[in-house]
Structure 1
Amino acid sequence: MSNNAELDHLLSPAGSDSVFCCSGMKMISRILLLLILSSCLCAATFVVNVTQSSYQAEENHSITLEWTFTTKTQGTWRELFIICEFRSSVKSGVIYVHQDGDEIPDSQHEQFSGRVQIDKDVLREGRIRLHVSRLRTEDSGLYLCDVTTEDGFNSGRCRLNVTVHKNISAVPGQNVSLPCRLPNNKPAVVVKWTRPDLEPDYVLLFRDEQPDPENQHPSFRNRVELQDRRMKDGDVSLLLSNVTTSDSGKYECRVFQREATGRKRRALISDPIWIVFLDVAPPPENEEERKEDGSRNKHVGLIVVAFLIIVAVLIAALIIGWCLYLTKQKMNRSPNSQ
């Protein structure tokens, strides 16, 4: 009898083999119970923790993800196996593998090629410090590290969200485009633009290939739309028409995509993929005109001052000359009188 047939036979509840079936089931249950207790004992003595459960970073920046693990054999590489993986709604893959002191780069996902390093020195202290450089928005997702040592096995996970930050300036009455682009070529099922400082915070909700005005903030009605409803090349930018100073603020772009399998939808992510700061202000004064006006005024002022000085000198000269004339006349009369 083959192993599969024997197992089917053991699990079969019917016929004259029922007694043998019961005893077999009891034996299997005991084995499973021992396995469960053993795994629980290992989990109790060996733990992998994350320093932070969630990380936030900007595109093109770098970040360090950190885990810690307990071990009784700190300081040795004996039976140390680490495998760190990345998972998102559209892809998954290995980003780092370490076995007994050696790195195994061949299994690394191409998305992270040349961008992931580990601090080997702190591994001996039971710490995993994974450095990811030149971050991309597509790096957003779940990061898991499985650790196996002679003391046991466990794993820890954390989430990383990478956003793009943009600053845009506009003047009242302009039409502006707030950029947002998907981190992959997977089309969005839902696009959500919000402004956190408003209540309700919905600027635009686009789903079922059309805008959904329900719960939209009144100030944006009939003034917003997607730049491209077909979302060609992952473009989900927002067009905002006839802006006013009250439109100034922080705008956040979120997307809702299907799972990589395409069979179900992923929950709307809570973290934005793009953050746009819009500043709407009246146009400043023309610097050239202001400079010309200032130069002209300064020139006129100098002329007036010079004119006043000349007048004052002339008046002073007239006064001095008149005084000298009177003095001379007085001196001429004095000898004649004698």
Structure 2
Amino acid sequence: MMFLMFCCLSSSSSLRMKMISSILLLLILSSCLCAATFVVNVTQSSYQAEENHSITLEWTFTTKTQGSYRELFIYCSVVAHKELIFYQVHNGVEIPDSQDKQFSGRVQSDKDVLREGRIRLHVSRLRTEDSGQYLCVVKTEDGSDKEKCQLNVHKIISAVPGQKVSLPCQLPNNKPAVDVEWTRSDLEPEENVLLFRGDQPDPENQHPSFRKRVELQDRRMKDGDVSLLLSNVMPSDSGKYECRVFKRESSGRKTINFNSEYIRTVFLDVAPPTENKVGREEDGSRNKDVGLIIGLIIGAILIAALIIGLIICYVIKNRKREEADDK
């Protein structure tokens, strides 16, 4: 069977690579050689990152000094809109061709730490669609195990006061029968920015500062677009916004709401234009007198220089006069 798998791996066909990946996963999961002492752990259960930044995901697994990595199998995938392969090792050798194109050229591994029982993967140029549940399954001659972690990649939207902005939230599929909830956890007494239930907004359960300023970009939610439009933004609108989507199932007259199916986090930063940001303090406030202070300092320096120049001229003239009198 290993010979057949090796033959498949030598093919450049993406279809065959996906088939061998599935076979490998089944082989790992169905292995009956799992020892109770073999354990896979994840360094962090949850990661938060910003769009276009990089992050390092790390797992550890039980090792034995006499172990051989000829039988090292690693299958790492992410479950976002669908299951995607982002890292794979077969018989101790990496298989980059099995990687989904979404992660092509963006995942680098530290090969040197594998023998220490560590899987360290660096993901660069993060995208919001990279958010999801990351699962790594590991099998060696000592046994097999798996562990997962959650990665949330946040999008940052910058705006200036008075603008109308769109906070994106895109569902994997077009699902018109959903309830949409946009929230900000730092708001009181009501954290809801927008509730959209039964194809209608619910202003009764909405924070007062957002009334008549927010709406869905597409009320029909075509192609799963549940983005939020926020008009006349102000600095107080800055913060972390979360988009949640709930499935709705009807049973007779009764509607059942399940837990949120999809969550997207967007950061909004509302500040004056770049050219007006001179003097912005660390807390985001502005020093309106900075220009005046700088002007006064420059003026004082010029006046001091003029006075010093006059004094020097006066001293030189006096010396010349005294020398003339002595003669």
Same structural fold, with TM-score higher than 0.5 when normalized by the shorter chain: yes
Distance 1:274 1:48 in 2: 32
Equivalent residue, structure 2, for 1:220: 210
Query: For the Cα contact (< 8 Å) 2:77–2:84, is it kept in 1?
Result: yes
Amino acid at match of 2:218: D
Equivalent residue, structure 1, for 2:41: 49
Equivalent residue, structure 2, for 1:98: 89
Look up the SS of the partner of 2:203 in the other structure: coil
Tell whether 2:192 aligns with 1:193: no
Change (3 A) 1:159 1:102: same
Tell whether 2:265 aligns with 1:273: yes
Q: TM-score, normalised by structure 2?
A: 0.63
Q: Quote how far apart the aligned CAs of 1:165 are.
A: 1.0
Query: For the Cα contact (< 8 Å) 2:174–2:221, is it kept in 1?
Result: no
Amino acid at match of 1:213: P
Distance 1:128 1:104 in 2: 15
Q: Deviations over 1:48-90 (max 9, x none)?
A: 00000001111111111100001214674231111101112x2
Query: For the Cα contact (< 8 Å) 1:59–1:164, is it kept in 2?
Result: yes
Aligned length: 243
Query: For the Cα contact (< 8 Å) 1:191–1:205, is it kept in 2?
Result: yes
Tell whether 2:195 aligns with 1:205: yes
Query: For the Cα contact (< 8 Å) 1:63–1:132, is it kept in 2?
Result: yes
Higher helix share: 1
Larger mean Cα displacement after TM superposition, 226-235 or 192-201:
226-235
Higher alpha-carbon Rg: 1
* Structure 1 ranges of 4+ moved more than 6 A: none
Equivalent residue, structure 2, for 1:33: none
Q: Percent identity?
A: 58
Look up the SS of the partner of 1:273 in the other structure: strand
Distance 2:51 2:66 in 1: 36
Alignment of 1:29-68 (within 5 A): 42-68=34-60
Distance 2:61 2:219 in 1: 48
Q: TM-score, normalised by structure 1?
A: 0.61
Query: For the Cα contact (< 8 Å) 1:60–1:135, is it kept in 2?
Result: yes
Among candidates 108, 111, 114, match of residue 117 of structure 1? 108
Tell whether 2:169 aligns with 1:177: no
Tell whether 2:256 aligns with 1:253: no
Change (3 A) 1:278 1:244: closer
Query: For the Cα contact (< 8 Å) 1:243–1:280, is it kept in 2?
Result: no
Look up the SS of the partner of 1:78 in the other structure: helix
* Unaligned stretches of 5+ residues in structure 2: 1-30, 248-255, 278-287, 300-327
Tell whether 2:137 aligns with 1:146: yes
Distance 1:179 1:65 in 2: 27
Equivalent residue, structure 1, for 2:122: 131
